[in-house]
Structures are given as structure tokens and as C-alpha cells.
Amino acid sequence: MTEHNDEDLVRQCRAGELKSFDLLVERHQRAIFNLALRMVRDSDDAADVSQSVFVKAYENLERFDPQYKFFSWLYRIAVNESLNALGQKKRFEGLDGNDLAVETPDEKDDEAVNEERRIQDGLMMLNVDQRAVIVLKHMQGLSYREIGQILDLPEKTIKSRLFSARQTFKDILKKKGVRRNDRSTAS
Amino acid sequence: MTGAQLRELINRDVDGDLSPNEHRDLTAALRRNASARKLHAEIKALGTALSSVRQVEPPANLGNRIRADVRSRISTPPLRRTRLESLRALVQTPSVLRYGTFFAGGLVTGALLFMFLIHPQPAPNVSADVATGTLLTHSETFPFDLNGAKGTLTAISTETGKELTFRLTSGIATTTKLTYDPSRVKLENVREVQSAGGPVVVNAGVVEMTGTGSQKCTLVFSGVRDSRIAVQVAAAGGGTFNKEIQVH
């Protein structure tokens, strides 16, 4: 079977082929879910964000500019939806005074999981702008240019934001005692 | 090379963004500068730690949830402009083709009407995946008009029966939703409260709609006993709309 690229699928979807959108969902849901998860931390919230992302993408497909990559556009929606979710949560917590974040109960309490948890905790201590660049760069493996397109910022700004985010993150992790591979040397 | 330039080179090196000349300059600077070497090692280790965080598999039903939600909104764009463009193109075609197309369209419409009369179709609030024959959604929509706040409350259940999504649309087309899970209600605006009558914990949620003046609404849902959820829409301008929904 021919593997269609995203642009083909978007074109088919605009022509009314809903199955093409299903393929886009199948192709990108994992990345979008993981992006949302790192932004909002809670798995259920991340699933809700992912659902909103694809629904918004579908509803606004006519506005998608094909000169950009489809996934960049999806990521942009995902970042915005994550920020909305965090904003709503904050408002509610402000009223209620309860932290609704839930730990996944079946997580194994091994060292790797603990380290990941500390990294996720550290991420949540960054401001959302810094968190977004760290997640997009290190966890989604995107280039400065792609991150710039997603956040609608010049590459220069992305670099300086990323570098200062790393510095802040490094300090946070130092305080939290995340084990690092300090044997790394200059390449 | 200033300290700021050196920090930038170190960061860009970790990202693999240096030209050969810049890389050579950095290597020379690192050889001379112990604190720069330390910073380089730390930034590199940070990148390694972040990149080693494992990808998490999304919930198994996420794809179905998304497909069901998209299909429940099937009447909204993306087809709108395409149809408009098609109509515009049709009007601009020579008259023989135009009348021929209208005639063919009439025949198709007649055939469709005939089919609907002879073979009643499934209820329109049910959608199915044609390829697999799987029932995807069942939804019910309840319109309300509360002192100027007009809108609809839509409840959509997925095929698993484990989720019920509420969508509230007020007059200014603001949409929100709550997801109900029998084992645990979980969304950003949901909290657990103790029922007044005894030790049973019921789940309740409140969502405030963004809106202006009388269009502003609040969606409250509560009571998860006997698979029934009480839903209330309260308008800022006064008045409430109550509905009890059976969860199957």
C-alpha cells in the first residue's frame, strides 16, 4: 500500500475524505500526547489536550498553510492547548486550593523512573516558555527553525530562550540531585 | 571570545549546530578554560538526561476518542469552502454543462430521497466506522435557552461505554467539555466531594464558560450513582437547565 505523506492526507481530508484524517491522527497522536504530557504532566490531562488538538486541527484545516509542515502546525496547536489546560487548572486550583495532579499508580519505583520523575518535576518548575523550548528541542528532537515556526518566534530568540532554559533547568536538577553522566567531555 | 560567546558555542555544540571552524574555536577554548569544560560537560549531560526520558504510549482508546469527537462535529468545515468553490465554478461553466449538471443533481437528490423513504437510515446521532463496522459514538443533544443564553448541551459516549464527553456550546460559540470515566472522573475542573448522605464519594465537576454578560454559563455535573449523572447548566443571566443522563 502506498504511504501517503502528511500533505497528501491533508489535501484528501480537505476534499472530504475523513479516513485521511484518521491516518493523520494515527500517525501523530503519540508525539502529540507526549508533548502534552511533558507540558502538563498529568496523563489524563495530556489525553484531553491531545483530543482537543486534533479536533481543532480538523475544524481549522482550511487555515493550514501548506508551505509549513503539518506536524509543526499540530505542535503549535498542542503547545497552545497545553497552555490553556495549565491556565484552566491553575484557575481551578486557585479556587479550590487542591493540586489535582495524579501520579500514575502502576509506575515501577525503579531508579530510571525516579530520575524521569525528577526530570518531569524539574520541567514543571520552569516557566512555560522555557518548558516548551526544552520539550520541543530535547524530547521531540526539533531544530531551532522548526521550534521557531511552532512558537512563531525568530530562531535567535529560540536559541537564547533555550540556552537560558538549560541553565535554569541545570540549577533546578542540581538542587533535586538528578544523576547525570558527567563523564561527557568536549566533542 | 567573550563569556557569552563561549556559552553560546557550548550550547550550540550540544545541539550539533557548529560549523567546523566554530567547533575548532570551541575545542581550543575548552582546552584552555576549566570552567568552560565543566559547563560543556554539564550541558551535554543535561541534554543526554532529557533525551533519555522515555516516550509514553498514549491511552489505548485515545484514537477512538478523537475519531468520535471529530465525527460528532462533521457538519462544521473543512468542506465548507470546497463546496462554495464548487458552486462558484459551476455557475461560471457554459449553460449546457450547467443545466446538465443541475439535471444530474436533481436525479441524484430524487434517488436519495427515495432511498430514505424506502430504507430508513440509522439515527443521525450515531456514527460508525464503515471499514470495521464498529459503533463509534452515540450522542444526545439538548438545546436550552436561559434568559438570553442559548445553546446546546451534547453528551457523547464512546463505544467502550467508559467515557462520556459533555460539550456545552453557548450563544457565542464557546465550547468546552468534561470527560466522565466510571472509575474516576478526571479533568482539570473536576474534584471529588463527599456526599452528604454517607461515606459514598461522588464525583462532581464545574466548568465556567468564557463568555460575556448573559451568554456566560456554568456547567455542573454530579452524582455518579446507578450510572446516572445529573447535569446542570446555569446561566449568568439567571435560570438553570437540568438533565439526568444515563451512562450505559
Of B95, B128, B161, which closes a domain? B128
B57 shares a domain with B7: yes
For residue A15, pLDDT over 90 is answered with no
B103 shares a domain with B83: yes
Of A98, A130, A164, which closes a domain? A98
Of A46, A69, A98, which closes a domain? A98
A76 shares a domain with A4: yes
Q: Are the Cβ atoms of B187 and A96 closer than 8 angstroms?
A: no
A147 shares a domain with A83: no
B179 shares a domain with B122: no
Q: How do residues A91-101 score in pLDDT, each as one tens digit?
A: 545 333 333 33
- Total count of domains within chain A: 2
B145 shares a domain with B122: no
- The shortest CB-CB distance from B191 to any of A96, A182, A185 is to A96
Range 139-178 of A in CB contact (< 8 A) with B: 139, 141, 144, 159, 162-163, 166, 169-170, 173, 178
A74 shares a domain with A151: no
Q: pLDDT value at position B117?
A: 54
Here the CATH number for the domain that contains residue A109 is 1.10.10.10
| Distance between CA atoms of residues B222 and B215, nearest Å | 23
- The shortest CB-CB distance from A88 to any of B69, B179, B188 is to B188
The DSSP H or E segment spanning A117 is: helix A111-125
Q: How do residues B65-95 score in pLDDT, each as one tens digit?
A: 888 888 877 644 443 444 444 444 444 445 5
Q: pLDDT value at position B61?
A: 87
CB B190 within 8 A of CB B220: no
Q: For the ranges A169-178, B51-60, B137-146, which has the lowest average pLDDT? A: B137-146
> Is B133 a domain residue?
no
A106 shares a domain with A89: no
Of A79, A98, A117, which closes a domain? A98
A176 shares a domain with A153: yes
pTM: predicted TM-score of the whole model, two decimal places: 0.57
Using a CB–CB cutoff of 8 Å, tell me whether A117 touches chain B: no
Nearest CA in chain B to A85: B188
Q: How do residues A56-86 score in pLDDT, each as one tens digit?
A: 999 888 888 888 889 999 999 999 999 888 8
Q: pLDDT value at position B212?
A: 43
Nearest CA in chain B to A64: B78
A68 shares a domain with A131: no
- Total count of domains within chain B: 2
B35 shares a domain with B96: yes
B69 shares a domain with B28: yes
| Spatial CA neighbour of A46 closest among B55, B158, B205, B220 | B55
B217 shares a domain with B174: yes
> Is B9 a domain residue?
yes
Per residue in A44-72, is it b (16+ CB within 10 Å) or e — as a string? bbbbbbbbbbbbebbeebeebeeeeebbe
> Is B134 a domain residue?
no
Q: Structural domain of residue A25, as residue ranges? A: 1-98
Supply the ipTM of this predicted assembly: 0.80
B111 shares a domain with B143: no
Strand partners, B221: B205, B231
Strand partners, B143: B152
Residues of chain B found within 8 Å of residue A34, distances taken between Cβ atoms: 55-56, 58
Q: Are the Cβ atoms of B49 and A181 closer than 8 angstroms?
A: yes
Strand partners, B150: B145
| Distance between CA atoms of residues B50 and A21, nearest Å | 31
Residues of chain B found within 8 Å of residue A38, distances taken between Cβ atoms: 53
Q: Structural domain of residue B15, as residue ranges? A: 1-128
Q: How do residues B83-129 score in pLDDT, each as one tens digit?
A: 444 444 444 445 555 666 667 777 777 776 665 555 444 333 444 44
Of B60, B93, B128, which closes a domain? B128
Residues of chain B found within 8 Å of residue A48, distances taken between Cβ atoms: 179, 187-188
